[in-house]
Amino acid sequence: MNLVENSYVPAHLAIEAMRDNGYKNTAYAVCELIDNSIQANAKHVQLLCGEAERQLSTRKTSRLEQIAVLDDGDGMSPEILGMALQFGNGTRLKRDQRTGIGRFGMGLPASSISQCKRVEVWSWQDGIENAFHVYLDVDEKK
Ligand SMILES: Nc1ncnc2c1ncn2[C@@H]1O[C@H](COP(=O)(O)OP(=O)(O)OP(=O)(O)O)[C@@H](O)[C@H]1O
Ligand SMILES: [Mg+2]
């Protein structure tokens, strides 16, 4: 059997399974992102919530449809941004360093997909006009 082609971790199944990963609620998941902001030396962290009105069968209701965490920390180079949404990857892995809040390279992707099916990360270090962007869309991996 070719273990490269027959991966032990088939991405489309693993990502769906990992959505049920133990974050108690949205607040706990958002805290994971705020931890990252603090770790990146942010002085300000903003939580932006996007609500939309939806018509249910008998009534209209407002639902939280988008959440964004915005910080003014160090930002990420394109290389680091490329790792940010990889499960188990990051710049603070246990083998590299034992201080600080981050350790496993799991917080950002795991907390995000526990709450939503699409996560986008935008970052810039040299002006917003030079922003880079990565995303993970659970439905695209099916
Ligand atoms: N707000 C941010 N500002 C700058 N870099 C960030 C930010 N969020 C994430 N990163 C980068 O993305 C990497 C991955 O983040 P992630 O939360 O997945 O892992 P971690 O913080 O290293 O460890 P843990 O699993 O314990 O949270 C981080 O190591 C960091 O380099
Ligand atoms: Mg983290």
In a domain, 80, yes or no: yes
125 burial class (0-12, 13-18, 19+ CB within 10 angstroms)? middle
In a domain, 1, yes or no: no
Q: What pLDDT is attached to residue 7?
A: 78
Count of domains for the chain? 1
Is 71 within 8 Å of 48 (Cβ atoms)? no
Q: What pLDDT is attached to residue 129?
A: 96
Tokens matching residue 8? 């032990």
Kindly give the distance from the C-alpha atom of residue 59 to the centroid of ligand 1, in angstroms, as a whole number. 41
| Those residues with Cβ within 8 angstroms of residue 28's Cβ, 6 or more apart along the chain or in another chain | 111
pLDDT at 101 over 90: no
Q: Which residue has the tokens 């394109």?
A: 78
Instruction: List the domain range (segments joined by +) for residue 132.
Output: 11-141
Q: What pLDDT is attached to residue 103?
A: 81
Q: How many CB atoms lie within 10 A of CB 132?
A: 17
In a domain, 3, yes or no: no
Is 110 within 8 Å of 88 (Cβ atoms)? no
Q: What average pLDDT does the chain have?
A: 90
Kindly give the distance from the C-alpha atom of residue 141 to the centroid of ligand 2, in angstroms, as a whole number. 23
pLDDT at 1 over 60: no
pLDDT at 94 over 80: no
Quick one: which atom of ligand 1 is closest to the CA of 110? 18
In a domain, 6, yes or no: no
In a domain, 72, yes or no: yes
Q: What is the mean pLDDT of residues 103-110?
A: 92
DSSP 105: S
Kindly give the distance from the C-alpha atom of residue 61 to the centroid of ligand 1, in angstroms, as a whole number. 35
In a domain, 44, yes or no: yes
Quick one: which atom of ligand 1 is closest to the CA of 73? 3
Half-sphere exposure of 48 (CA within 13 A, CB side): 7
pLDDT at 2 over 90: no
Kindly give the distance from the C-alpha atom of residue 111 to the centroid of ligand 2, in angstroms, as a whole number. 9
Q: Which residues line ligand 1 (CB under 6 A)?
A: 36-37, 40, 71, 73-76, 80, 84, 90-92, 102-109
